[in-house]
Amino acid sequence: MLGRSARAGNALIARHMSAFFECLPREDRESPERVAQAYGEHLFHRRRRELIEQKRLARSPFHVGIGVESADFTDLTKRAILVSDTLLLSHNGLGPPREVCALSDRRTERPLGARIAGTAHGEAGYSTQGTMLMRERDVLSMRCPDLAELGTWLSQVEPLLRAGLAWYLPSYIVTRRASHSVLGGPRNYDHYQEPDQLAEVPSALDFLVQTGRAVSENADHPPHALKTAVVRPVLTMDLPFLEGTEMADFSKITVDEFASYKAFQSFLRRELLSLDTALNAVESERETIKIAHQIEDEVRGIHSQMSAVRRKRAVAVTGAVVGTIGASLVAVYGPAFQAAAAGLGAAGAGGIWGIIQSAADNSPRTLRDTPWYYIWILNRKSERCR
């Protein structure tokens, strides 16, 4: 088993995730919905802002991989963890608002007989008896297709989160709700709700623009279909991943048994740095091919290591097998990507390829040199190897 220091991914993520699970009450753990709500509450405001601010100060391009199109986190986690230093997953505003908690609750009382201000559904007027109770609440919600499913995933990948290898980025909404009631009179005098306000907190798109590393599970737009002035294919290959296991078992195996996992991550960091240089070299194609072969060789070694791990008795009983997933690594010009992302805004965060296609269509003449943005595209077909 690896020691904590040896297996830790991003230390900042690990610290926030460990704090969340250590403070999570036992009764909340029994409810997947409550786990998701507690997680959303934990990361809101200062904590969530700190995650992106400290990343910016660290000036490292290897913090996150982003799955921005898949609603099924289980499959994407197993496939993408190999190529993501710290895997960031987000629903990016998909799904209805799910209430997390009340941010504030203000109550005031006013004797009737004074002038009552008009409301959204009534005119100003006077009353001659009773007391007006006015209540305003700011409610925090996050957009999510299914809170119970999210909470289940969070619980199952607790080892990955605590190790700083994965985390979830909520999409928040704040709603102000107000009600007026007359004490001693009708229970509800008036009630209204202001329009939802998007919380001013980082999105998955912010992380992608900042870090330049992404993981997508949508291969509907293959690299060769895009203009080479914007997108340059680096390599196409099969990536190994453990399947046939429950998410909780996969998380534990990854953290405790898969010793070469972090070695591969360190190797991948060096190769991506080399890609920055190679893509701007005079003989860029030759240098890129050389790096692609080095990555392929290392991945073959990872496949062998996974096969050895699954034969261990403690792992074999989980039903683990080694699958392979077709993957492509492409490089996208950073400035063109940023320009397209700025034009599309938050709506563009739902699809990496929509942003890239916009860059290819609209701004090929404004391309500059580095930085490049690297994107792994994972196909959905896989093979099972026993």
At residue 135, the pLDDT reads 77
Element (H, E) at 47: helix 46-58
Mean pLDDT, the chain, rounded, equals 77
Residues 232, 333, single domain; the answer is yes
Domain boundary at 158, 182, 198, which?
198
Expressed as residue numbers, the domain containing 121 is: 97-143+171-198
At residue 24, the pLDDT reads 95
Residues 86, 101, single domain; the answer is no
Is position 157 within any domain? no
pTM recorded for the entire structure: 0.80
Contact 100, 41 (CB under 8 A): yes
At residue 56, the pLDDT reads 58
| Number of structural domains in the chain | 2
Residues 354, 207, single domain; the answer is yes
Contact 218, 189 (CB under 8 A): no
Is position 186 within any domain? yes
Is position 158 within any domain? no
Residues 184, 233, single domain; the answer is no
Is position 8 within any domain? yes
Among 55-59, 267-271, 299-303, 310-314, whose mean pLDDT is lowest?
55-59
Residues 181, 248, single domain; the answer is no
Among 30-39, 43-52, 344-353, whose mean pLDDT is lowest?
344-353
In tens, the pLDDT along 312-328 reads: 988 998 999 999 988 88
In this predicted model, which residue has the larger pLDDT, 210 or 36?
36
Residues 179, 298, single domain; the answer is no
- Ramachandran region of residue 93, left (φ > 0), alpha (ψ -120 to 50) or beta? left
Is position 126 within any domain? yes
Contact 86, 9 (CB under 8 A): yes
In tens, the pLDDT along 194-233 reads: 555 666 666 777 777 777 788 877 666 655 556 566 788 8
Among 48-57, 162-171, 177-186, 377-386, whose mean pLDDT is lowest?
48-57
Q: What residue type is 72 in one-letter code? A: D
Residues 124, 53, single domain; the answer is no
Contact 274, 333 (CB under 8 A): no
